[in-house]
Structure 1
């Protein structure tokens, strides 16, 4: 397996034995269903880290830069990441063996899913020229992670016009401007002013817009104790209601187990079953009038709200110039000095392949068409065949369940007179299910 790093049009191959693994065991493994190899996350519930330093740092400041890689979630993903970190130059003396989640990066890109999180991250770290601090800027409203188990190719194209384009399988899913406040959180360009942290709300500041009317009086006819619901006095017990029949009866076919010991297990009681007589009657047991809304119900009285004569509005701290404000014509990205995968996942089977950096979009497109697309088509055909086969198995199980249920119903004593009609219905239903299965095939 090779990591292919493209800088311009020059391809540099990096053998797997010069990258460093940590925690979980990385494997050089075949992708399921074909002969293509990749870098495999082999164990669940583990942390993984692996990194490769590039021969020369890749500048992101001028022209177009394409970041692209493939990943396949062969076991699906419930909680875990499959993203890549494009590291900026590290401190002097740093070694690849020291790579971990604290290693600073320039861009983090790729799928992540856990709980409510389901997104393809694009995060960049940018240095504030005023205070020297690095700030993470997250793409707003990123695309979702594909839900299947096929190989997908993720592409982030950084353009000279200050835009980034996110593609999945060559299809554009998101476009954003690095300088637009509505595209990244927090915005790259800080606000010109900020609330004064030393400004305090005056003690006599009244920010309640409405207050209870102090002159309001509860009406004399207001009954706080009236219930929300009352019995419907006009309701009449349905004809045929079986007052003396319980809704559940002892199962007449149940027998006490041979190994049942009354002294140790207690007195044996047959299990309960639904009373079949109740199925053809309006109801069983003691009839009670239904409840209805009480027209006299008003609930607990409270005085109405009126405008607060002392209302001063919502208090806000006064604005002061932001000491960390700066302006830029374009992002000042740190160069890419290494490529790293640093993830935690609850699923095994995540496969990475064909990681590249390119200065030409045609190179990335060619790689998608020649490397990714052929194996994606193979995987897709295999998936469709498996889905069709599982669909037929599912329909066959439905047919068995329908037959069993209808034959059991037909054997109920009080329905014995209707047994021929029930069996005819079961055959008709089978015919319908067969037609459904044929149409699906």
Structure 2
């Protein structure tokens, strides 16, 4: 009987070991409970069942921790374990700071427009045995990121004399991974610094088409998973955003495996090589009726001047409401002239000024004659240099990843508020997943809920602000209408008041509408002649009248009378020579200076 019990016990131990292995793979405490209940139902060893249950819980909850090479939660002061660079270029100050909205601490980029460098040496060198590795860290861009980096460098080992205080951008790394954004660049970098086994030189191989950064100010976790079979996965918040193969030329630039054949750099195109597929027909003759001198456009003789065209009106006239400044000195400043404004008479008329017949395309135009093209009898095709065997070609079964001795952050950023947290290096994807669930997910969910609450509270305010912005933009465009030049200062003043007091936007809009309507009514129905004195020489401007009520003959008579008056005034001004207007030029030059 004793031997049977011992035999039964050995069987249970084997079964239990298998179940424990399954539970460990699933990283689930529930699996440990299954093991315990299974054992209890098959034997009378409750003590053994309890012991195995405790062992399983320890393995699932703590045992994975033995696989961590580095885990930095920044719960305490980083000084001493992280060494900031003392190089002259790196003036940025690192701080231990809480993440906005909760009590979780991280490593903070505290100043704008600075270079930052800091490094932490690993307790042991991490080697990429079997091609397995997981690199993970969290970043929160609390003030967004317009131009800067938020990536990590996984540094290669150096000689014992290396001083972390000298860390800079020249320090050799194995992998660079993380967000980078500036101008058109918006990507999660993954760069492998790989040694060419043929030349011995290190080459940076960039991941092609990397995923973009999330466009918000929340905490995000970035994970690079290196798997056997030369596989790479880039995860953002636990979701796979990019999958690549290290040996594929489609995934990395330049490819890790160089091409077998390359272009011969010494090969040159022969002098007599003709690449022209078509050539002019040397036997072709220009037709006798081909006129190369015929213009492309000619005057449209059939065109007629539109009815109501004001030949003797100018597009611009002196502003009748303009007043000579009180501090204007004729001797110092020269003769004052009122500013120009658009002629109101030309607004409703089809046009003003001297009318000329428009141009039209010349039907006889053919341009310069060219001989037609024919097939080139000497055509040899497009020349290409010959291909030769690549002297640097090599066969690669898997990348030769350089080991990691330290983790560094070396960035140049125009924004502050970048917060790094929970930096992890491990070989087990389950470990990385566990940390995402325990450290990142609760934090992200809290930030997301706060963001939703803020958006809900500011939703109506945002709509109102957007409406006001559109209204002000419309009013600015309205103020630029030439017809409203005389009222432009008043309209701009109303707009500026509205921007300072957004609650009166509707009132501003109504005021501008009244001003605009006033201008149109004055244009359509006329106005009193303003009494404006201009050094005794400016005359009172004529009131605006409807152009459609005047006959063509009346316009011509008035125009002739106006021309006679202009000629008379011109003769009166003839004695004014260059010396008379010199003071004005000197005043203008002094003002510009």
1:92-138 per-position Cα deviation (integer Å, ceiling 9, x unaligned) = 42221221111111221223233333332221111122222211111
| SS of residue matched to 2:130 | coil
Return the alpha-carbon distance in structure 2 between the equivalents of residues 209 and 91 of structure 1: 62
Q: Are 1:370 and 2:370 counterparts?
A: no
CA distances 1:63-89 after superposition (whole Å, capped 9, x unpaired) = 643323333344444433222222222
Match of 2:518 among 400, 411, 414: 411
CA contact (8 A) 1:170 1:368 kept: no
- 8 Å contact from structure 1 (residues 209, 307) kept in 2: yes
Write out aligned runs for 1:250-265 (5 A).
250-265=318-333
Greater share of helix: 2
Q: How does 1:372-387 map to 2 (within 5 A)?
A: 372-379=444-451, 381-382=453-454, 385=457
Instruction: Return the offset for 1:409.
Output: 0.7
1:13-412 to structure 2, matched below 5 A, reads 13=72, 15-18=77-80, 19-22=82-85, 23-28=90-95, 29-62=97-130, 64-358=132-426, 359-360=428-429, 361-363=432-434, 365-366=436-437, 367-379=439-451, 381-382=453-454, 385=457, 389-397=461-469, 398=471, 399-400=505-506, 402-412=509-519
Per-residue CA distance 1:266-311 (angstroms, 9 max, x = gap): 4433333334444434344344444444443344444343333223
Report the Cα offset of residue 211 of structure 1: 3.2
- Distance, in Å, in 2 between the alignment partners of 1:171 and 1:79 is 25
Name the structure 2 match of 1:432.
Answer: none
- Using the size of structure 2 for normalisation, the TM-score is 0.62
Q: Structure 1 412/186 Cα, relative in aligned 2: closer, same or farther at 3 Å?
A: same
Change (3 A) 1:276 1:108: farther
Given that 1:153 and 1:372 are in contact with CA atoms closer than 8 Å, whether structure 2 keeps it comes out as no
> Partner of 1:426 in structure 2?
none
Change in Cα spacing, 1:197 to 1:288, as seen in structure 2 (3 Å) is: same
How far 1:404 sits from its partner (Å)?
4.0
Q: Could you tell me whether the CA contact under 8 Å between 1:68 and 1:364 is conserved in 2?
A: no
**Whole-Å Cα distance in 2 between the matches of residues 229 and 91 of structure 1?**
80
* SS, match of residue 364 in structure 2: coil
SS at match of 1:101: coil
Deviations 1:153-185 (A, max 9, x none): 333222324222223344433222212111111
Question: Is the Cα–Cα contact under 8 Å of residues 218 and 447 in structure 2 kept in the other structure?
Answer: no
Larger-gyration structure (1/2): 2
Q: Secondary structure at the match of 2:398?
A: coil
- 1:430 — aligned with what? none
What SS does the aligned partner of 1:112 have?
Answer: strand
String of CA shifts for 1:373-395, please: whole Å, max 9, x gaps. 43344346446655653442232
Judge conservation of contact 1:24–1:41 (CA < 8 Å) in 2.
no
Q: Taking structure 1 as reference, are residues 132 and 251 closer, same or farther at Cα in structure 2, changes over 3 Å only?
A: same
Deviation at 1:32, TM superposition (A): 4.5
How far apart in 2 are the matches of 1:369 and 1:178?
30
- Report the more deviating stretch, 89-98 or 380-389: 380-389
Residues of 2 paired with 1:330 and 1:396: CA distance?
61
Give the direction of change, closer, same or farther, for the CA distance of 1:362–1:72 in structure 2 (3 Å limit).
Answer: closer
SS of aligned partner of 2:512? helix
Relative distance call for 1:305 and 1:336 in structure 2 (3 A) is farther
Give ranges in structure 1 of 5+ residues lacking alignment.
1-5, 419-441
Q: Which has the higher contact order (CA 8 A, sep 6+)?
A: 1
Q: TM-score, normalised by structure 1?
A: 0.80
- Tell whether the 8 Å contact from 2:191 to 2:205 is kept in structure 1 after alignment: yes
Distance (whole Å) between structure 1 residues aligned to residue 356 and residue 383 of structure 2:
57
Partner Cα separation in structure 1 for residue 466 and residue 332 of structure 2 = 44
Query: Structure 1 74/222 Cα, relative in aligned 2: closer, same or farther at 3 Å?
Result: farther
Other-structure match for 1:435: none
Structure-2 separation of matches of 1:343 and 1:396 = 40
- Could you say if the C-alpha distance between residues 200 and 82 of structure 1 is closer, same or farther in structure 2, counting changes exceeding 3 Å? same
Unmatched 5+ residue regions in structure 2? 1-64, 472-504, 526-593
- Where is the strand percentage greater, Structure 1 or Structure 2? 1
Quote the offset at 1:191 in angstroms: 0.5
SS of corresponding position for 2:79: helix
CA distance in structure 2 between the partners assigned to 1:350 and 1:229 by the alignment? 64
1:412 Cα offset (Å): 0.9
Match of 1:438 in 2: none
CA distance in 2, matches of 1:262, 1:73: 63
RMSD over aligned Cα atoms? 3.2
